[in-house]
Amino acid sequence: MAAHASPSTMEPLSARIPSDLYLWLAQLQVEGATTNSDKLRVLLGQLKRQHDGALDYVAAHAWARDLTGRLREALVRTEGRTGKHSEVVSLLLDHLTACVALVVSQTPGDEIEATKFEDALVRRAFALCETLLRQGTTLHAAAYDPTVVRRYMSQAVELAANLQTSKGS
């Protein structure tokens, strides 16, 4: 039986990595970590929790927001330069972050838990649909391209109308 180190015991790790990865790690902003060793500890801990299915929804949500951090910062810079904001993009990012968090944080152990997960995922997907349809109620959505929602929503509206028609007959 192998001995396991306690969580507080530190073990040395030596690895050779390509210089581009080293430079990337050195420049990477990791909350609570300043040195490369600190960053590796934090990142490996996150990866382990994700692999073990130990991320709760809140932790998974924070992780998913971190994944989209560069995108969000770029959008803020664009808004600062141009004064333009896309409510559509913001809402989509919020829904996608929540969906990723939901998926990453779940490990259903039985059919009841799988059913609850399915319900939550479908509820979130329809909330996203409602958000986009709400943006399509006017000719111009609150978006970088004000016509983007209406350009893609006709098939969804047609499907919804067909559902309503078949339900009534």
Structural domain for 153, as ranges: 54-160
Neighbours of 64 (CB within 10 A): 21
Q: How many residues does the chain have?
A: 169
Tally of domains in the chain: 2
**Within-domain flag for 12:** no
Pair 82, 142 in one domain: yes
Instruction: Flag whether 168 is in a domain.
Output: no
pLDDT in tens, 54-67: 678 988 888 888 88
Does residue 167 lie in a domain region?
no
Residue 166 falls inside a structural domain: no
Per-residue confidence (pLDDT) for residue 48, from 0 to 100: 78
Q: What are phi and psi of 33, to 5 degrees?
A: -135, 135
Going by C-alpha positions, the residue among 63, 54, 59 that lies closest to residue 107 is 54
Average pLDDT value for residue range 66-87? 93
